């Protein structure tokens, strides 16, 4: 009926959010409402895909990797493996405790996401020599060189 307030409703699909209303027959659509004119109208709802931040938490090691903006349902671009002296990088995980690895080939973004770097300290073999053993080793080396 002409002059009646019309309330518009929408239900976006998962991963999308409302963007705007458009109509060539309605003078103004405000707060999802308009006043019905004397003629039939067509109103279109437009939606846009949600975009989320993906942050790489280095967990105190290596050089910070730049975050990414990823559309809902899309995959994260795998960054170059970070490096840190004395540590081996083991991969990116879904939680700080590094229990579930992020699968760059299959996992998709559905909300703001933090990926956590897993690091393993390098192991080194250290051999201790007493001062006496070192002197004996040096003397043996010197005497072997003098005989030649």
Tell me: pLDDT of 131 over 80: no
Half-sphere exposure of 142 (CA within 13 A, CB side): 6
Closest CA to 117 of 87, 84, 83, 90: 90
Q: Is the pLDDT of residue 108 over 70?
A: yes
- Structure confidence by residue, pLDDT tens digits, 43-96: 999 999 999 999 999 999 999 999 999 999 999 999 999 999 999 999 999 999
d(CA 88, CA 102): 18
> CA–CA separation, 38 vs 142, rounded Å?
110
Is pTM, for the whole model, over 0.85?
no
Q: Report pLDDT digits (tens) over 18-44.
A: 999 999 888 789 999 999 998 889 999
CA 60 to the chain's CA centroid: 17
């Amino acid at each position: 009926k002409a002059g009646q307030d019309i309330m518009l409703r929408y239900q976006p699909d998962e991963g999308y959010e409302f963007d705007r209303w458009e109509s060539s027959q309605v003078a103004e659509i405000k707060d999802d409402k308009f006043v019905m004119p004397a003629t039939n109208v067509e109103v279109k709802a437009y939606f846009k895909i949600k975009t989320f931040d993906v942050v790489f938490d280095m967990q105190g090691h290596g050089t910070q990797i730049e975050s990414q903006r990823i559309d809902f349902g899309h995959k994260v671009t795998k960054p170059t493996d970070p490096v840190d002296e004395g540590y081996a990088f083991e991969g990116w995980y879904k939680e700080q405790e590094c229990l579930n690895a992020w699968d760059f080939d299959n996992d998709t973004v559905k909300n703001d996401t933090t990926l956590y770097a897993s690091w393993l300290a390098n192991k080194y073999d250290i051999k201790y020599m007493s001062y006496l053993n070192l002197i004996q080793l040096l003397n043996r080396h010197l005497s072997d060189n003098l005989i030649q």
